[in-house]
Structure 1
Amino acid sequence: MFSFRKSALAIVAAASVGAFAAAAPAQAQTLKVVMHSDVKILDPIWTTAYIQRNHGYMVWDTLFAMDEKFEVKPQMVDKYDVSADKLTWTFTLRDGLEWHDGKPVTAEDCVASIKRWAARDSMGQKMMASVADLKVVDPKTFVMTMKEPYGLVLQSLGKPSSNVPFMMPKRVAETDPNTQIKLEDVVGSGPFIFKADEWKPGEKTVYVKNAKYKPRAEAPSGLAGGKVVKVDRVEWIWIPDVQTQVGALQNGEIDMLESPGHDLLPLLAKDKNVKLLSFNPTGNQYAFRFNSLAKPFDNPKIRHAVFVAFAQEDFLKATIGDPQWYKVCKAPFVCGTPLATDAGMADVLNGNAAKAKQLLTEAGYDGTPIVLMQSTDLQVLTNLAPVAKAQMERAGFKVDMVSMDWQTLVARRVKKDPPTQGGWHAFLTSWVAADILNPVMAGYFNASCDKAMFGWPCDAEIEKLRDQFSKETDPAKQLAIVEALQKRWVDYPTHINVGQWYAPLARRNNIDGNLTAPVPVFWNVTKK
């Protein structure tokens, strides 16, 4: 046992001599962290994967940001104004914004960035559908003119998680939204600078403090306020084995572990040199995503049969285990939030295999094997696919589970090829609660056909209800729209929510300052 865990860094270094040789100068303060995944993709707009979102917050900044209370505050924006008729929004950037290459941030950069982000993001698409014009006034000012009043402008521009509207230089933001930006284009204006020369996929990703970054004056709160960097260098070290990760933390070889295995939490809780910190109290939600283009899941009745076959607790027991860290919750917009409701959900997520089998027969399922992608390198996801396979097979499906690492899955899920030729039928993932608080924000509810996220559901009724929600400001009426949408969604599933879960971050006792936020960020963090 000791030989397996004796030195995580030595194990990784053995795979590639010099993996940790490019150390910072002796006087520099370096934070060594193991994140939940390796960094193999650098474009946080091209994909919704959370490791790319986390990478995005290191390098780029946002016009607005959500604080600890889920209130949207200005970030890169100094001031904004809304006309009396709610049709004209004027935004002015704050002073001192500069790209890492030394060039000033301009309104042109921001307009181009909004357009690229909106082409990929669910909220961005809805917002831009109501935009009549988006134009630059001067180097620090731009104006967004709406076709009609739109209730989610600030919530869209201050969206906290995937896809995040990160601001990029105009030349980078003009990259086709369906094409990844190049390595040399990882240039932001955020609190850290990406060290392209030290990036070694499979080993480590390095960021250094942006000495020219000018934080806001406000105290940090969530993702808003002053982003004050208190360390010189952050190294994300990739260690794929969870036990080895924990061993590295206990031995002091790393300072922080973003996603410790739930089965190892009791061990960490007993370690006097380690602290467990629940930085995201609203938690996360597991999701099973359909490819609605591929037979048999092009048939909504067959997708509905999966909804009937599934039971959440089996997924949660297999992945999380301890009920302290999970919650059975049918409400797709997260239990404990204003839009949480079980409307329309009475006959699904009950694990009714017999009923699901009957529905499959009625829908004409022909025995086509379901290509189910399984992520094997993220412990919080690994056991989901086997549970889905078992529950589907009890209902009469044939399931071909294909195993791969998470980054391979992320690359494959954008493909529209037939499942037998490198495509897919389904996979499972997880969303932070802050991503799915309403039907416009929640990307998997986007049913706008080719404009939707991978899975590409296409349903005019769901889109009509999402449009209604985006223009409604009365909370009671918003809830009524959500209830109507859920009733439609059960019959026309775009995905299936398979339970809520929670996880702490683990850090050494000499680390402090982690913020309560839906995203692990590294400003305000200190190392004694």
Structure 2
Amino acid sequence: MNFSMTRRRSLIAMAMGGTLGAVGLPATVFGATPVKGGIISVATIGEPPTLDPMMSTADLVGILTQHIFETLYTFDAKWNVTPLLAESLPQLSADGKTCDIALRKGVTFHDGSAMSSADVVASLKRWTSVASRGKQAAGVIADIEATGADGIRITLKQPYAPLTALLAMNNSAAVIMPARKLAATLTEFIGTGPYQLKARVPDQYIQLVRFAAYKSRAGEPDGYGGARKQYLDEIRFVPMTNANTRLESAIAGQYDYVDSLAVESLSKLKGSKSEAVILKPFGWPRLVLNTKKGLMADQKVRQAAQLALSEEDMLYAAFGDKNFYAVDADLYPKGFPWATDLGGAVYNKGDATGAKKLLDAANPKDRTIRLLTSQQYEFHYKMALVANEYFKAAGFKVDMQVVDWATLVQRRANPDLWDIFITHSPFLPEPALIDFPSKDSPGWWDTPRRDKALNAFNEARTQDERLKLWAEVQKAVFDEVPFIKVGDFNALSARSPKLQGLTPAPWPYFWNTWKA
């Protein structure tokens, strides 16, 4: 039986703490003439758990470290893979199993040493052993070797379409570091990026300064690709865990950029000392289920949890205004080539009676869901409050654990500590970049059906084939429930009018920006 309207309204009101009317989106005006010099401060959602971009899929880690480290490839403004430290796109053999990559010459690390093919090979081998995306690729990589001072070859066991996109990603990232500095745990953070690490004072700031010997690509900026121009002298990233504090600092103009504001903050930014930065569509929040241990290791229990939820109510609680969210089961929205129409059978049901029947059939000894969330992303927390009520109506007990984001990232790596955690991701240009294809990613989805669907998808040689096979991957997700998509949403941040040249992006970057 579904919740009554009165019950639904009360629990949503509890999560929202009020309602939000429709509002307009302000235009942003950029300056025309770049100015060199100056310092900017960026308020982030918290302290990063690491500055080693191979070791984390957290967006916060990617946002910071993309200024320090670089990958062989990145994404242009249209989300096409484009060269960064590579000279050009890979040369593939006719059978799709040999990938030759030419490297840019004259690239220098922050310690003054020149980047060589030996550094690239060593870095990629570390990536395949420690990074979740690297481990995902490792299963199809037979060898990584130098073909000279300025080239490498990746030999594959089978064709693997997502390889260049995986090499382009900025978290769990295949960054290139000096071979002699590599270690299981990094003690020095030395890359080739436009800014280098000068100081890290935990819980206070991370200070990056311009790398004088940086070698940018030629041409004009193009998304994350193209030229990376170093107008700023210094960038300071300041952790600010409380969402209301971030909002107040944006209103007062205390920071040049404030990341991750609640969407209901938009009206409060009008007339303030900061301007809204809106990314539409941004991405999708999801509940990740622990398929390895505990309550959610049972597929029937996961299906019960999925059936219990009203994702529409969770979205309304989190965002309030339909200008900022869309009720959408499928993993990509309309407008993306990966968009489908497959999720309606299991999505947005709020069916407490049906969920309880599934739960009773599974008959677990303990029906307590350890639900892990953080208030640093306030919309996560609001969704958790609503999910809590729907789970309880279906016969679950809920132990809601509210922690800071760094703690959540650490805790989710241990399958003994949680059953469900809430996270989100921007819409990525390649489905293989979503963390669920990796068996090493928290959630640890590993079944024969998963393997069959994903292997076929990744080995397909044409885009038409891949589009058809992506539907089979999604069907496996809806049936086996390694995670539950909540919907689509837009993102809100704020910037000072003095910060010029900023391009709204899912992982904001500050090369190419300047301070008027």
Measured against the shorter chain, the TM-score band is 0.7 to 0.9
User: Aligned residue for 1:202?
Assistant: 203
Task: State how far apart, in whole Å, the 2-side matches of 1:496 and 1:461 are.
Answer: 18
- Which amino acid counterpart does residue 519 of structure 1 have in structure 2? W
Q: More deviation in 324-333 or 468-477?
A: 468-477
User: Aligned residue for 1:434?
Assistant: 428
- Asked whether the 8 Å contact 1:122–1:442 carries over to 2, the reply is no
SS at match of 2:261: coil
Task: State how far apart, in whole Å, the 2-side matches of 1:274 and 1:39 are.
Answer: 25
Task: State how far apart, in whole Å, the 2-side matches of 1:326 and 1:56 are.
Answer: 29
User: Aligned residue for 2:508?
Assistant: 520
Task: State how far apart, in whole Å, the 2-side matches of 1:130 and 1:243 are.
Answer: 46
Q: CA RMSD in A?
A: 2.1
Structure 1 residue 188 corresponds to structure 2 residue 187: no
- Which amino acid counterpart does residue 151 of structure 1 have in structure 2? A
Structure 1 residue 496 corresponds to structure 2 residue 497: no
- Asked whether the 8 Å contact 2:96–2:159 carries over to 1, the reply is yes
Describe the superposition over 1:444-480 as per-residue Cα deviations: whole angstroms up to 9, x where unpaired. 243x4xxx21222220211121111111133333232
Structure 1 residue 146 corresponds to structure 2 residue 156: yes
User: Aligned residue for 1:372?
Assistant: 371
Shift of 1:28: 5.4
SS at match of 2:436: helix
Task: State how far apart, in whole Å, the 1-side matches of 2:356 and 2:145 are.
Answer: 55
- Of 127, 135, 143, the match for 1:117: 127
- Asked whether the 8 Å contact 2:343–2:478 carries over to 1, the reply is yes
Q: What pairs with 1:446-485 in structure 2 (closer than 5 Å)?
A: 446=438, 448=439, 452-485=440-473
User: Aligned residue for 1:277?
Assistant: 277
- Asked whether the 8 Å contact 1:345–1:487 carries over to 2, the reply is no
- Of 497, 500, 503, the match for 1:509: 497
Shift of 1:308: 0.9
Task: State how far apart, in whole Å, the 2-side matches of 1:412 and 1:122 are.
Answer: 16
Structure 1 residue 264 corresponds to structure 2 residue 265: yes
SS at match of 1:91: strand
Q: What pairs with 1:183-262 in structure 2 (closer than 5 Å)?
A: 185-196=188-199, 199-262=200-263
Task: State how far apart, in whole Å, the 2-side matches of 1:303 and 1:143 are.
Answer: 42
Task: State how far apart, in whole Å, the 2-side matches of 1:287 and 1:120 are.
Answer: 25
Task: State how far apart, in whole Å, the 1-side matches of 2:241 and 2:456 are.
Answer: 44
- Which amino acid counterpart does residue 108 of structure 1 have in structure 2? A
Q: 5+ unaligned residues in a row in structure 2: which ranges?
A: 1-35
**Change in 2 beyond 3 A, CA 1:347/1:373:** closer
Task: State how far apart, in whole Å, the 2-side matches of 1:380 and 1:96 are.
Answer: 45
TM-score by length of 1: 0.86
Corresponding residue pairs, total: 480
Shift of 1:40: 4.0
Q: What pairs with 1:22-37 in structure 2 (closer than 5 Å)?
A: 29-37=38-46
Q: More deviation in 491-500 or 313-322?
A: 313-322
- Of 151, 166, 169, the match for 2:175: 166
SS at match of 2:414: coil
Q: 5+ unaligned residues in a row in structure 1: which ranges?
A: 1-26, 418-422
**Change in 2 beyond 3 A, CA 1:41/1:124:** closer
- Asked whether the 8 Å contact 1:301–1:491 carries over to 2, the reply is no
Task: State how far apart, in whole Å, the 1-side matches of 2:151 and 2:301 are.
Answer: 50
- Which amino acid counterpart does residue 453 of structure 1 have in structure 2? S
Describe the superposition over 1:370-391 as per-residue Cα deviations: whole angstroms up to 9, x where unpaired. 2111212332322222222111
Q: What pairs with 1:47-66 in structure 2 (closer than 5 Å)?
A: 47-66=56-75
Describe the superposition over 1:229-266 as per-residue Cα deviations: whole angstroms up to 9, x where unpaired. 11101111223333332333333321111222222210
- Which amino acid counterpart does residue 462 of structure 2 have in structure 1? D
- Of 38, 61, 76, the match for 2:47: 38
Q: More deviation in 476-485 or 518-527?
A: 476-485
- Which amino acid counterpart does residue 325 of structure 2 have in structure 1? Y
Task: State how far apart, in whole Å, the 1-side matches of 2:344 and 2:176 are.
Answer: 39
Task: State how far apart, in whole Å, the 2-side matches of 1:212 and 1:355 are.
Answer: 63
User: Aligned residue for 2:97?
Assistant: 87
User: Aligned residue for 1:341?
Assistant: 340
- Which amino acid counterpart does residue 189 of structure 2 have in structure 1? V
TM-score by length of 2: 0.88
- Asked whether the 8 Å contact 2:275–2:495 carries over to 1, the reply is yes
Task: State how far apart, in whole Å, the 2-side matches of 1:399 and 1:473 are.
Answer: 45
**Change in 2 beyond 3 A, CA 1:241/1:133:** closer
Shift of 1:294: 2.0
Shift of 1:122: 5.5
With CA pairs under 8 Å and 6+ residues apart, which has the higher RCO, 1 or 2? Answer: 2
Same amino acid, percent of matched pairs: 28
Task: State how far apart, in whole Å, the 1-side matches of 2:344 and 2:125 are.
Answer: 36
- Which amino acid counterpart does residue 353 of structure 2 have in structure 1? A
Task: State how far apart, in whole Å, the 1-side matches of 2:133 and 2:249 are.
Answer: 40
User: Aligned residue for 1:7?
Assistant: none
Q: More deviation in 164-173 or 103-112?
A: 164-173
**Change in 2 beyond 3 A, CA 1:40/1:85:** closer
